[in-house]
Amino acid sequence: MAKNYDQLAKDIVKNIGGKENVLSLVHCATRLRFKLKDKEKANKSALERLEGVITVVESAGQYQVVIGNSVGEVYNTIGNVTGVVLNSNNEEGSNDKNGFISAAIDTISGIFTPILAAMCGAGILKGLLMLFTTMGWLADSSGTYKVLYAACDSVFYYLPIVLAYTSAKKFNANPFVAVSVAGALLYPSMTALFSAKESINFLGIPVVLISYPSTVVPIILAVYVLSRLEKLLNKTLPTVCKNFITPTVCLAVIVPLTFLVIGPVGDTLGRLLASGYTYLYNINPMVGGAIVATVWPILIIFGLHWGFVPVVTNNLAIYGRDTLFTITGPNNFAQAGAALGVFLKTKDTKLKAIAGSAAGTGLFGITEPAIYGVTLKYKKPFIIACISSGIAGGITGYVGAGASALVGASILTLPAFIGQGFVGFLIACVIAYFGGAIGTYLFGFNDSMIINEETQESKEITDADLKEIEVASPANGTVMILSDVSDKAFASEQLGKGIAIVPEEGKIYSPVDGTVEAAFPTGHAFGLKSNSGVEILIHIGFNTVELNGQYFNVKVQSGQTIKKGDLLVEFDIDKIKAAGYEITTPVLITNYSEFSSIIQTNDTTKKIGENIITIIK
87-96, 144-153, 344-353, 392-401: least confidently modelled range? 87-96
Q: Which residue has the higher pLDDT, 452 or 607?
A: 607
Q: Are strands 597-600 and 200-202 parallel, antiparallel or unpaired?
A: unpaired
CATH code: domain 5-88 is: 3.30.1360.60
CA–CA distance, 102 with 476 (Å, rounded to integer):
48
Residue-level pLDDT at 464: 38
Topology match between the domains 5-88 and 468-616 = no
Contact 249, 233 (CB under 8 A): yes
Residue whose C-alpha is closest to residue 185's, from 164, 199, 204: 164
Planar angle of CA 113, 118, 121, nearest 5 degrees: 125
CB count within 10 Å of CB 523 equals 24
Q: Where in the sequence numbering do the catalytic residues fall? A: 28
Convert the pLDDT of each residue in 257-293 to its tens digit.
988 888 888 778 766 766 666 677 778 889 888 988 8
End-to-end CA distance of the chain: 47
CA–CA distance, 64 with 33 (Å, rounded to integer):
5
Residue-level pLDDT at 412: 76
Residues forming beta bridges with residue 589, ordered by sequence position: 497, 536
Residue whose C-alpha is closest to residue 411's, from 323, 344, 322, 332: 332
Q: Where are the domains positioned within the chain?
A: 5-88, 138-278, 287-449, 468-616
CA–CA distance, 156 with 176 (Å, rounded to integer):
19
Convert the pLDDT of each residue in 206-237 to its tens digit.
888 887 887 777 888 899 999 999 888 888 88
Three-state secondary structure readout of 456-470: CCECCCCHHHCCEEE
**Percentage above 70 pLDDT, the chain:** 88
Residue-level pLDDT at 404: 75
Q: Are strands 22-27 and 31-36 parallel, antiparallel or unpaired?
A: antiparallel
Which whole-number Å values give the CA distances from 450 to 229, 345, 459, 599, 617, in the listed order?
Answer: 57, 12, 7, 19, 16
Collapse the DSSP code of 560 into the 3-class scheme (helix H, G, I; strand E, B; otherwise coil) and give the result.
Answer: coil
CA–CA distance, 534 with 519 (Å, rounded to integer):
17
Question: Can you name the CATH fold of 468-616?
Answer: Glucose Permease (Domain IIA) (2.70.70)
CA–CA distance, 383 with 377 (Å, rounded to integer):
11
Convert the pLDDT of each residue in 492-525 to its tens digit.
887 889 999 999 999 999 999 999 998 988 899 9
Residue-level pLDDT at 457: 40
Collapse the DSSP code of 131 into the 3-class scheme (helix H, G, I; strand E, B; otherwise coil) and give the result.
Answer: helix
Residue-level pLDDT at 508: 94
Contact 522, 548 (CB under 8 A): yes
Residues forming beta bridges with residue 534, ordered by sequence position: none
Contact 293, 331 (CB under 8 A): yes
Q: Buried b vs exposed e over 183-208: b needs ≥16 C-beta within 10 Å?
A: ebbbeeebeeeeeeeeeeeeeeeebe
Q: In degrees rounded to 5, what are phi and psi of residue 357?
A: -65, -45
Residue 351 CB-half CA count within 13 A: 24
Indicate the angle between helix axes 217-236 and 239-257, nearest 10 degrees.
150
Indicate the angle between helix axes 330-345 and 380-399, nearest 10 degrees.
150
| pTM for this model (two decimals) | 0.49
CA–CA distance, 522 with 326 (Å, rounded to integer):
56
Going 102 to 103 to 106 to 107, the CA torsion angle's sign is negative
